[in-house]
A and B are shown apart, each in its own frame.
Chain A
Amino acid sequence: MENKRKYVIPGDVITTGPYRPEQNVILDGNKIISTAIGISEIYDDSIKVIPLTGKYIPKIDDLVIGKVVSHTSLSWELDINSCYVGFLPAQDVFGRDFSAHADELSSKLKSGDLVAARIANFDRTRDPLVTIADRDLGKIDSGHLVKISPSKVPRLIGKRGTMIQTIEMATGAAITIGQNGWVVVSCETPEGLLKAKKAIQMVDEKAHVANLTDQVKEMLESKSES
């Protein structure tokens, strides 16, 4: 992939010319200006900035990890580490024949439970609607929650999942990454768990470093020897 990468801060003019502005850039006359701190990438006809900081903004079809904060008689509210609360309707869990009288929501999900969910619908007029009616979704029974900055999730996954595969292979842990920056790690051995957590935190801290996959690999291997 031939593209010029550059570190930018808000207000920096990335380039001028006929490009299509994508993520985190605006067009001012013919100047293309970054609106975030991050790394700019210029493609053939478009420009985007990969942000290095910022809150999670829900996007349809994102997998997120949420924490149940409360429920009404018809739905749960999930903290999804965003400025909006996730809205999980009861039909999603109980099925179509859900009845607000007969079914008690707290029997399935209590406050404080962790849930793997998918953003089913979201637009600027209402809070994100999440669903757990899918494979691999639903309540998370075991594992440790690690919180990283949502902007660093792509880095943790790596190109075609290389980074996460490296960590999973070296530690034997199963890692579920929510796009909202919450990550659940579960592992049979405590050593593997600690190492996986450390690797995830390392990615969070050093997200801007090049060749991070190699560094993480090195860290994981050096520890296993000692």
Chain B
Amino acid sequence: MGGRDTTLVLLDENGIRCDGRKVDEPRRIMIKAGGLKNADGSAYIEFGDNKILVGVFGPRDVHPKHMSNTDTGILRVRYHMEPFSVTERKNPAPSRREIEISKVIKEALEPAVMLDKFPRTAVDVFIEVLQADGGTRCAALSAASVALADAGIPMRDMVAACAAGKAADTIILDVNNEEDQAGQADMPIGYMPSLEKITLLQLDGVLTPAEYKKCVETGIHGCKIVYELQKKALTEKYFGNGEK
């Protein structure tokens, strides 16, 4: 938020971005599975300066009852930003943007989870953004998928997410807050790495067909990096230090 910094150089002549990264370099990512005792599954992710905590409950009874589906379980997602997650206090009531992100994350997870085994139940995913710095929906989606796996919800594949975009006429991987505000395009991508399928694709900005293609490829490359870290987080929790 706030006014634009007109002196900000998004990409210098050496191909270094405003936060010191190369064009195809993601931010520092740390994922931890588990951590919350009362939730059935949980995960914590640090994605650059984003800090997000996810708790998963279920499968469990659906309340209100009329929402339940006799054919399949339902997935409910709440994405919420803490009032202190951004520089200026955010009203804790769900905003238009949070409702949208809850919906897109839910739809990005639905192809992966196999809830048809649990008719008349619900799986609830609670996403709390503790600190936001651009690209929270991707980070939240990646963490939600780890938390779902931690809860033991059957899944066809993990969902890894990463954004790609365009700033200073160059396709870049993992758009940060500054690049999102001042850049030309932002494209969050959710991807199932083993099935090689895209579950989320949004685009804010204008790209030529060639740029679009490159952007998707760059984003998928980022998703694969995230996937390796998701795998590592789950392996660490469940199998200790990888003794086979």
A residues at B contact (CB < 8 Å): 5-7, 9-13, 24, 26, 28, 33, 35-37, 51-55, 57, 83-84, 124-125, 151, 208-210
Q: Is the interface of B mostly helix, strand, loop or mixed?
A: loop
Task: Please give, as numbers and ranges, the residues of chain A lying within 8 Å of B151 by CB-CB distance.
Answer: 53-54
Task: Please give, as numbers and ranges, the residues of chain A lying within 8 Å of B240 by CB-CB distance.
Answer: 208-209
> Is B90's CB within 8 Å of the partner chain A?
no
Task: Please give, as numbers and ranges, the residues of chain A lying within 8 Å of B155 by CB-CB distance.
Answer: 10-11, 35-36
Task: Please give, as numbers and ranges, the residues of chain A lying within 8 Å of B112 by CB-CB distance.
Answer: 10
> Is B180's CB within 8 Å of the partner chain A?
no
* Least CB separation from A31: chain B residue: B194
**A13–B60 alpha-carbon span in the complex (Å):** 29
Task: Pick the contact of A11: B40, B59, B194, B239 (CB < 8 A).
Answer: B194
Which of A12, A57, A83, A125 has the most CB atoms of chain B within a 10 A radius of its CB? A83
Task: Pick the contact of A83: B114, B121, B149, B154 (CB < 8 A).
Answer: B121
Could you tell me which residues of chain B, from 114 to 171, have a CB within 8 Å of some CB in chain A?
Answer: 114, 117-121, 149-158
4 further A-B pairs in the complex, CB-CB below 8 A; given A28-B195, A35-B154, A210-B243: A9-B158, A10-B149, A51-B152, A57-B117
Q: A9-B235, A37-B238, A208-B239 are in contact. Are A83 and B152 (CB under 8 A)?
A: no
Check A124–B234 contact: CB distance below 8 A. Answer: no
* Least CB separation from A54: chain B residue: B152
The 7 closest A-B pairs by CB, nearest first: A54-B152, A11-B157, A53-B152, A10-B155, A11-B194, A83-B59, A35-B154
* Least CB separation from B155: chain A residue: A10
Task: Please give, as numbers and ranges, the residues of chain A lying within 8 Å of B243 by CB-CB distance.
Answer: 210
* Least CB separation from B33: chain A residue: A37
Which of A9, A36, A210 has the most CB atoms of chain B within a 10 A radius of its CB? A9
**A83–B121 alpha-carbon span in the complex (Å):** 7
Task: Please give, as numbers and ranges, the residues of chain B lying within 8 Å of A125 by CB-CB distance.
Answer: 70, 119
> Is B58's CB within 8 Å of the partner chain A?
yes
**A136–B117 alpha-carbon span in the complex (Å):** 31
Task: Please give, as numbers and ranges, the residues of chain A lying within 8 Å of B31 by CB-CB distance.
Answer: none
B residues at A contact (CB < 8 Å): 40-41, 58-61, 70, 112, 114, 117-121, 149-158, 192-195, 231, 234-235, 238-240, 242-244
Q: A208-B239, A208-B240 are in contact. Are A9 and B152 (CB under 8 A)?
A: no
Q: A53-B238, A55-B40 are in contact. Are A9 and B59 (CB under 8 A)?
A: no
* Least CB separation from A126: chain B residue: B120
Q: A53-B238, A83-B61, A83-B118 are in contact. Are A13 and B194 (CB under 8 A)?
A: yes
Min C-beta distance of A155 to chain B, whole Å: 13
**A203–B3 alpha-carbon span in the complex (Å):** 57
Which of B59, B70, B119, B238 has the most CB atoms of chain A within a 10 A radius of its CB? B238
Check A9–B121 contact: CB distance below 8 A. Answer: no
Check A33–B238 contact: CB distance below 8 A. Answer: no
* A–B pairs, 16, beta carbons within 8 Å: A9-B158, A9-B238, A11-B193, A12-B194, A28-B195, A37-B149, A37-B238, A53-B150, A53-B151, A54-B152, A55-B58, A83-B58, A124-B119, A208-B240, A209-B240, A210-B243
